[in-house]
Chain A
Amino acid sequence: MSAHLLTELTIFILAVFVGLEVISKVPTTLHTPLMSATNAIHGIVLVGAILVAGTADAPFNAIVGFLLVLLASLNVFGGYTVTERMLQMFRPKAPAAKAPGDGAR
């Protein structure tokens, strides 16, 4: 293992701990949007896709590149759109609902 990989592994492990800490605070009612939001975040692989596809020269690489940018882009745009749509629906009280405080946790 190179020193460089070790540094990256360090970043990875620390980020896992940050992730566990932050995500354990997400309430169960938001677990579907959470999945969808993290789905959008792993669309970051688009960055890798652009790096690989953007500098590919062999025709085969261009095809792989097109496919992978397409998949990653689908992941990013679809993921954020669907999360936004879902979160729009979460309201504390719909209009003309019960009196305030009633039924609140």
Chain B
Amino acid sequence: MTTPDTTPANWIDVAYLVTGVLFILGLRYLSSPKTARLGNRISAVGMLIAVVATLSQGIVNWWVLGAALVAGAAIGIVSAQRVKMTAMPQMVAIFNGAGGGAAALVAAGELLKVYNAGTAPTYDVSFTSVLSAVIGAVSFAGSIIAFLKLQEVMTGRPITYPGQQIVNAVILLAILVCWGLVVANSPNALEYFWIALGCSFALGILFVLPIGGADMPVVISLLNSFTGLAAASTGFVLGNNVLIISGALVGASGTLLTVLMGKAMNRSVTNVLFGAFGAVTASAGGGAAKQHNVRSVTADDVAAMVAYANEVIVVPGYGMAVAQAQHSIRELADQLEKRGVDVKYAIHPVAGRMPGHMNVLLAEANVPYTSLYDMDDINGEFERADVALVVGANDVTNPAAREDKTSPIYGMPILNVDKAHNIVVLKRSMNSGFAGIDNPLFDDPKTVMLFGDAKKSIDGVVAGVKAL
């Protein structure tokens, strides 16, 4: 038995404990929109305590620290305030990448310090610092690619090439070998560390490249989880409990969301990451595009349909975000509610480019969150609805997922839009959706199509309703 450690606790460690507790409480308050803001502030106070406690330790490079802190804060706050709500997935990706990159560099810095002092790191430190650097660098590079895809700087379609998985496997192997050499304290350990870091950076890029835009909710969640784990392993390197606790919380959150998103697409996470979904199905569907026999209507026709309805369910998708149509939809809902029409919103878990994307956009347009319904809560309601108004959503409404065993999305839970009495689909054109999958909903005799930019179309419907 060991004797109990009786050295008095360092007050800084006490401060870190308080921070950990405040982070957990902050997340706890996120369980309701009513308390969520308080939660975010509690979490921010926790962060402040940890940073102040850390600054009170023997810091020498004040000018470096101060300059970096102020510059980072300025860039962070200004960009966070300016960013449009529709660009939120990109913003989250960037902050995520920043965190991952920082974690990798902390590990690198700590390892450099040990080598510069002319000593060999312990196995614990070398093992965890490579771990932290690898996960952090993958997260950093992956987040940048995710950002570029979401910002549409590069194509959102999957980028594939022959032997992709083999290349990734070779890079992964190289990382593992370098990792082993660093831990084994080879004479060139530092060089191997840099190679591992570089390979991880490349791997981060290569693993996000083949993932299509529609799968972004999974990727963003997964990258979030990676950054959390990178922060936690940095905690192992530095022996710092607050980093370990916070990293674990973020890792748990990201993992949970990743699994939820996968379930909402009826696909395993490995399938999303390595399936290059969009590419395969696009080539399969591209050759034999099915002829559609659709009914196209005008905005005034739609206005008459919704204005005399009892209940209208709006089904938003990524197309709503692209067209910035959320404010027009809110205006339409206001007009309809004035006429006594009940308006509800059906939100599919993977609608948009990140978890909860549609909810944030509609909240921005002042739609009360009490009108937003999850898939399971609203699916029974469609058969009572007079009109289902599908705005820029496609695959999440595709009945083939329920009925057609040959469809690539067979088994994916969908919104039962086809059960509504009438269906209005707002679409830019008859081009197939992102994944290139045929949607029999458009051929349904109950369905009418309103072609054009979603915002302009909805504005037209609003004008039509007002004129009635």
Contact = CB atoms under 8 A, between A and B. Distances in A.
B68 A73 contact: yes
Contacts of A98: 337
Contacts of A105: 370, 373, 377
Interface in B380-397: none
Given A28-B347, A79-B95, A51 B64 contact: no
B112 A60 contact: yes
Interface residues on A, range: 35 or more
A76 B359 CA distance: 24
A25 B252 CA distance: 13
B32 interface: yes
Contact of B61 (A39, A53, A72): A53
Contacts, number: 410
Interface of A: 1-2, 4-5, 8-9, 11-13, 15-20, 22-58, 60-62, 64-94, 97-98, 102-105
Interface string B345-365: 001010000111101100110
Question: Counting chain A CB atoms within 10 Å of each CB, which of B77, B231, B241 scores highest?
Answer: B231
Given A31-B354, A72-B99, 4 more contacts: A2-B124, A16-B251, A41-B26, A91-B366
Contacts of B347: 28-29
Interface stretch (B151-159, B253-261, B270-278, B412-420): B253-261
B252 A85 contact: no
Contacts of A46: 47, 51, 102
Contact of B77 (A31, A50, A51, A78): A78
Between B44, B91, B238, the greatest number of chain A beta carbons within 10 A of the residue's beta carbon is seen for: B44
A94 B33 contact: no
A73 B112 CA distance: 22
User: Which label, helix, strand, loop or mixed, suits the secondary structure of the A interface?
Assistant: helix
A82 B95 contact: yes
B227 interface: yes
Contacts of A56: 61, 64, 109, 113
- Interface SS of chain B: helix, strand, loop or mixed? helix
B218 interface: no
Given A16-B251, A28-B347, A75-B95, A33 B106 contact: no
Interface in B224-281: 224, 227-228, 230-232, 234-257
Contact of B356 (A31, A93, A97, A104): A31
B371 A32 contact: no
A87 B31 contact: no
B288 interface: no
A104 to B, nearest CB: 5
B367 A94 contact: yes
Given A15-B245, A72-B102, A91-B366, A42 B37 contact: no
Contacts of B110: 48, 52
B165 interface: no
A62 B47 contact: no
Contacts of A31: 257, 354-356, 359
Nearest to B70: A73
A18 B221 CA distance: 18
Nearest to A104: B370
A32 to B, nearest CB: 4
A65 B40 contact: no
B356 A33 contact: yes
